[in-house]
Structure 1
Amino acid sequence: MTHPEAGPASTDPTGGDDGDATVAGDADRPPAVANPRRALAVVIGVVFIDLVGFGIVIPILPFYVRSFGVSDAFIGLLAASYSLAQFLAAPTLGRLSDRIGRRPVLLASLAAAGVAWVTFGYAGVSGARFGTVAALATLFASRTLAGAMGGNIAAAQAYVADITPRDRRAGALGLVGASFALGFVFGPAIGGLLAADPVVARADALFPAFVPATAYSLPSFAAAGMSFLAVAIGALFLEEPKRTRPAGEHAGGQTTAIGQFREALASATLRPLTIAYFVVAVAFAGVQVMFIPYVADAFGYDATAAAFLLTYVGVLGAVNQGVLVGRLSRIISSRTLVATGAVVLAAALVAIPATGVVDRRVGDVAIGGPAWLTLPLVTLLLALAALSLGNALVNVSLATLVSASAGDEEQGAAFGVTQGASSLGRTVGPPLMAILYTVAVASPFLIGALLLVPVAAAFRRAGD
C-alpha cells in the first residue's frame, strides 16, 4: 500500500492528521453517485439489516455451545473461527471492491452469509443424528463461512468514503457505526423473543418435520432471512459509485492478507492504526465472548434477559456513534478521541466484574421504582453505558484516521487491512479470554483493561 501522500487525493497537505479538513479540490470533485444522500441511506440500511441478523444470534450462541455439554473454551474457539476467516477475507474483499466494485462484493457476501446462518440452525440436527463432534463441526463450518463474508464491512466503509467528502467522513462513518449499534438494538431483542418457549412451541407446531424449531434454530433462520433481505434491497437500490480504480491487474500493491499487513506495518501512517485495531480487538474480546456467560453465571440471566442488556447497549451505541462522536470530532482531534475512548473503555472493563461483587455483597436490593431495578443491575447498566461510550469513541475515530491515511483509490484496501487487524485480534483474543474465564471470572475483563493503557498513552502523545 502506498503512502497517503503519494496520490493526488491524499490527506490534508497542510499537515492536518485527522482528515477533518477538506482536501484541496475535494469539494470540486463530481459526486460519485447521482444522489449521495440516498446512496448513504441505502448502504447504511443494508449494513443495518445485516447487523440485525448478526445480533439476533448473539444472545443464544453461548447457550447453544453449552447445550452440547462442552467446555466454555469452545465459545471462544467458535468466535475465533469467525474472526480468523474475517481476518483472512477482509483485506481481499476490500481490495476486490477496489477492483470490481463495492456493490457486487457486498451483495455476494451477504448472500453467502445467509447460507451460513441456515447451516448454523441445523447444528442441533447434526448433533442429534451424528453426535457432538458433528454438531460442533457444523457450528464451526457455518461460523467460518459467515466470518469470511463478514469482511464485507471493509467494502461498506469504503463505499461511504467514496461518496462522502473528507471533511464529512467522521460523521458518515459514525452513521455506519450507528447502524451497527441499531442492529444490536433490534437484533438481540428479536433473538431473545424467538428463543422464548411460547414462540418455539408455536413454530414447532407450524414448521414441517425437516425444519428444526428450537430456541437456537429460530434465531439462526431469522438471521438468514435478514441477510437475504439485505441482498434484495441492495440489488434493487444500491448504486455502484464512480471512483478512481487501480490501473492493471496487480495495481495497488500486495493482494494477500499477509502482504498487505507487511505494507501497512511499513507505513508510518497506517502502522499505529493497524496495531491499535489489533490491540483494541484483543482487549474487547473478553466482553464480546464472555459477557453473556458472565451475566448468566453472576446474575442467573437467561438468553432473553441477556438480549435485553444487549439491546440497551445497542440503544446507547446508536446515540453515541450516530450523534455524539460526529459532533465531538468537529471540535476535538480524532487522535485525542481515541485516547479518551480507550481510557473510558478500560474503566468500563474493570467495572463489569465489580458488578458481580456488588451482587454478592448486597443481593437483590431494590433502590425504588420497579422491583427488578436493583443496585447490582444499576451498577451493571452504568458499566455498560461507559462501555458503549468508550467503544464508540475508539472505533469511529480510528475509522476516521484510516480514511484520512489513504488516497481515494485505496480506501477499500486501507479499511480491509485495518479490519483484518481487528479480526486477527478477535481471533487471538476469544480463545485466550475464554480459557482465562474458566480460571478466574474477572480475568478477561481486567486483562483487557490493561491492554488498553498503552493505546491510550500512544494516541494521547500523538494528539498533543
Structure 2
Amino acid sequence: MSVENPRRALGVVFVIVFVDLLGFGILIPVIPLYALSFGATEFVGSLLIASYSAMQFLAAPVLGRLSDTRGRRPVLLLSLTGSVIAWTMFGLAGSLAVLFAARMLAGSMGGNIATAQAYIADITPPEDRAKGLGLLGAAFGLGFVFGPALGGFFASDPVVVATRSILPAFVPVSEFSLPSFAAAVITGLNLVAAYFILPESRPPDARTDVSEERESRLEQLASALRTHGLSALIVSFFLVSFAFSALESQFIFLTNDQYSYGATENAVLLTYIGIVIAIVQGGFIGPLTDRYGEYRLAITGVAIQVVMLAAVPFSPVLGASIPTFGPLVSFGPVLPSGVLALLVIMTPLSIGNALTNVSLNTLVSRSATDDEQGGAFGLTQSAGSLARTFGPAVAGGLYTGIAFWAPFVAGGLLMIPILVLLARLDREVVSPTTA
C-alpha cells in the first residue's frame, strides 16, 4: 500500500464512486421511457440499455490494464470526463441514433468500476478486502438510492415546468432531458473534486510496461484461470449478470404495462431497492463475512435469487389478497396491492444480489496476485458486461415475443447452474476462514 492514509483514500474513492453512480442512477427510471418517446419498441429500448454494457465490455479490460500501467487516478479522471460529455449528449439527443451514441460513450467510461475495485485492493490488506469492497458496494447502493430519486424529482412535471421558465428557450427541457443535464452537472462536479483530492494508489515502481510485459501479463491471467478457480468465478459473474439483467432491463417496462407507472413512480420503487442494497453492502456484509465467509454468502445469495427473480412478474397475483395500501406521501399515487407484493419480493431479491456481488468480487481478489488485481477485475467486469449486453436483448425478445413473465422466470432458472459452479469451486480460492 503506497497511500499514506488508506482510510482517507478509501473515503475519497467511496465518495467518487457514489457521485459517479449517482449520475448514472438518475437516468435509470428515464432511459426506457426516453427510448419509447422516440417511437422505439420495448425490444429496441432493451437494446439501448444493452448498448451501455456492450461498450463497457470492450472498455473494462483496457481501462483495467491501463490502470495497472499508468495508475488508477488518471483512468478514473478520464472516465469521469467522458461521462460528463455522454450525459450532456443524452440530454441534447434529438433522435434515437444520438441517444444510442451517448449511451455507448457512457458505457465505455463505465469500465472504470474495475479500476475502482483495483484501487480498493491496492489500499486494503487481503483480510480487510471484503469490507473495503463492501464499502464500494455501499457506494453503488447509495447511488441507486439517491440517483433514481433525483431522476424522479427532475422528471416530475412541477420541476420541468419551473426549469423551463428559467432556462433559455434554446435549451431543450423535458422530463427526459432535465435528468440527463442534472447527471452531467453532478458528474462534472465529481470530476473537479476528484482532480484535487484523489491520491494515486499505485506508485510508479509498481506499474508494468504494457509494451514489454503485456504478453506475460496475459499468461499470468490465463494461469489464474486454470489453477485458482478464477474460471468458475468468471462464469458465475456472467450467469449472475445475465440472469439479473432480465430484471434490470424489463422492470420499468413491466411496471409501466401492469401499473402505468412512469419515471417518477418507478423512481420510488428503485429508490427502495437501492436502500436495501446499501444497507446490506455497507452495514451487514462485513460482519456476515467474518462469521460465515464469502463462499457461503455467495451460495446463499444465489439461492435466494433463484426463487425471487422468477416471482417478480407474478406480483399482481401474489398481491391479490393484500388490501390496497395508502397513498405514497411524496408522490401521491395509490400503491396497488400488487406493487406492495412486488416490494416484498424485491426485498430478499436485493439482499441476495448484494451478497452475491460482493462475495464474488472478494473471491476474485483472493484468486489474483497484487499485480493482477486490475486485470482480474477488468476480466470479471467484462464477463458481467458481456452478459448485460446479450441479457437485455434476450430478455426484451422474451418479453415481447413470448410473455411478460418469460424473462424473469428464465433469469431465475439461469441462477441454478451457478450453485453447481460454486459448489465445485477450487478450494484454493476459498480461504480457511471461508471454507
Q: By the TM > 0.5 criterion, same fold?
A: yes
- In the other structure, the counterpart of 1:385 is 347
Taking structure 1 as reference, are residues 261 and 88 closer, same or farther at Cα in structure 2, changes over 3 Å only? farther
Q: Report the Cα distance in structure 1 between the residues aligned to 2:221 and 2:103, rounded to whole angstroms.
A: 24
- Match in the other structure for 1:433: 395
CA deviation after TM superposition for structure 1 residue 323, in Å: 1.4
Residue 15 of structure 1 corresponds to none
Match of 1:54 among 24, 27, 30: 24
2-structure distance, mates of 1:137, 1:383: 36
Q: Which residue number corresponds to residue 114 of structure 1?
A: 84
Match runs of 1:48-197 below 5 Å: 48-123=18-93, 126=94, 135-197=95-157
What's 1:239 paired with? 199
SS in 2 for 1:198: helix
C-alpha distance after superposition, 1:109-150 (max 9, x if no partner): 111111001001112xx2xxxxxxxx1110111111100000
What is the CA-CA distance between 1:457 and the residue it aligns to?
2.5
Of 286, 297, 308 in structure 2, the residue corresponding to residue 326 of structure 1 is 286
Q: Are the structure 2 counterparts of residues 261 and 37 from structure 1 closer, same or farther at C-alpha, using a change threshold of 3 Å?
A: closer
The superposition leaves residues 334-378 of structure 1 with CA deviations (integer Å, 9 ceiling, x where unpaired) of: 12211110111122112211203235x45x832689894553232
1:220 is matched with which residue: 177, 180, 191?
A: 180
**Distance in 1 between residues matched to 2:168 and 2:334, nearest whole Å:** 39
Shift of 1:207: 1.3
Conserved 8 A contact 2:297-2:359? yes
Per the alignment, do residues 183 and 60 of structure 1 end up closer, same or farther by CA in structure 2, a change over 3 Å counting? same
CA distance in 1, matches of 2:326, 2:176: 36
Percent of aligned pairs with the same amino acid: 48
Q: Pairwise mapping of residues 273-284 of structure 1 onto structure 2 (< 5 A)?
A: 273-284=233-244
Question: Structure 1 residues 49 and 254 mapped into 2: Cα distance closer, same or farther (>3 Å)?
Answer: farther
The CA deviation at 1:325 is 1.6
Match of 1:38 in 2: 8
Query: In the aligned structure 1, how far is the partner of 2:221 from the partner of 2:86?
Result: 27
Equivalent position of 1:457 in the other structure: 420
Q: Alignment partner for residue 313 of structure 2, among 353, 357, 371?
A: 353
The one-character-per-residue Cα deviations of 1:24-59 (angstroms, maximum 9, x if unpaired) are xxxxxxx42111111000001000000000000010
Q: Which residue of 1 aligns with 2:359?
A: 397
- The answer to whether the Cα contact below 8 Å between 1:81 and 1:140 also exists between their aligned partners in 2 is yes
* Cα contact 1:335–1:397 (8 A) shared by 2: yes
Counterpart position of 1:365? 323
Quick one: distance in 2 between partners of 1:92 and 1:323? 32
Contact 2:124 2:132 in 1 (8 A): yes
User: 1:274-332 deviations in whole A, cap 9, x for unaligned?
Assistant: 11111111101111100011111112212111001110011111111111122111121
- The whole-number CA distance in structure 1 between the counterparts of 2:104 and 2:113 is 16
Question: 8 Å contact 1:91–1:260 — kept in the other structure?
Answer: no
Structure with bigger helix share is 2
2:376 alignment partner AA? A
Partners of 1:144 and 1:272 lie apart in 2 by 29
- In the alignment, is the contact (CA less than 8 A) between 1:260 and 1:417 conserved in 2? no
Q: TM-score, normalised by structure 1?
A: 0.86
State the TM-score, normalized to the length of structure 2: 0.92
Deviates further, 410-419 or 204-213: 204-213
In 2: Cα distance, 1:385 partner to 1:224 partner:
31
User: 1:260: how far off?
Assistant: 9.4
Q: Aligned in 2, Cα 1:374/1:401: closer, same or farther, shift over 3 Å?
A: same
- 2:248 maps to 288
Match of 1:416 in 2: 378
Measured in 1, the distance between the counterparts of 2:325 and 2:198 equals 50
Per the TM alignment, residue 461 of structure 1 is displaced from its structure 2 partner at its CA by: 4.3
Contact kept? 1:92, 1:255, Cα under 8 Å: no
* AA of the residue aligned to 1:37: R
Q: Does structure 1 retain, via aligned residues, the 8 Å contact 2:311–2:409? A: no
Q: Which moved more, 1:207-216 or 1:146-155?
A: 207-216
